[in-house]
Amino acid sequence: MSLIEIRKRSLTIETTYHEGGPAVAEPLKMAAACAVIRNPYAGRYEPDLLPFMAELRSLGTTLAQELVDTLGRDNVEVYSKAAIVGVDGEMEHGAVWHEAGGWAMRSVLGDPKAIVPAAKAVAGTGYRLMVPVHYIHACYVRSHFNSIEVGIQDAPRPKEILFALVMGTGGRVHSRLGGLTKDKVSVHDGQR
C-alpha cells in the first residue's frame, strides 16, 4: 500500500513586471507546485520515517517536473521547498521533504550545487508560509534572495501534509544592493 494519497494539487505562478521602478525587459516568474496528501502517521509516533521519505521522491519528481515544464529548465535560477504539517502531525513529518523534495529538484535541474533552502511548520488549515529562495548554483548571490508565499485555503487538514516545491526565473526585480552576482560565481561549491 502506498504511503502517498493525494487529495489535491495546485500550481501558482507570480509574474512581477516592476517594483515601483521601470518595467523590466524580462518579468520575474516565481512558481510554487503544491500537493496535499494524507499524513500516514497523523496522531501517532512512528520511529522509522525513512520509507515515507523514500516514497516521497516520486511526488517530488512530479512537482519539480511541473515547475520545469512551466518555467523552462534553462530559465530556472532560484529554488526552495516547504512543508506545512496538519496539527495531528509533527515537524519531522515535514522534515522528510528535505531529502525527497531537494533530491527531486536537483535531479530535474541537472544537479545544481547550492543547498536547497526550506521552510516548514505544523499549523492549522489555511496557514500560509513564506518560503525563502536563492540562486541554484551559489547560495550567496544576494540579488537572488527572495521569497514566495505558499498555501491552500483548505489545507492542510489536521491529518494532512502540504508539500511544496518552488522555482523562479531570476533575482529580485530592481535588485541593486551589491554583493556576489551570478556572473561572478567562480568557486562552484554551491556557496560562492
Q: Which of 36, 153, 26, 10 is nearest to 94 (CA)?
A: 36
The predicted model gives 120-136 an average pLDDT of 98
pTM greater than 0.85 (yes/no):
yes
Give the domains, in start order, of the chain with CATH numbers.
6-184 (3.30.1330.110)
41-100 per-position pLDDT tens digit? 999 999 999 999 999 999 999 999 999 999 999 999 999 999 999 999 999 999 999 999
Residue 192 pLDDT: 81
Mean pLDDT of the residues in the chain: 96
Pairing of strands 146-150, 129-135: antiparallel
Residue 191 pLDDT: 86
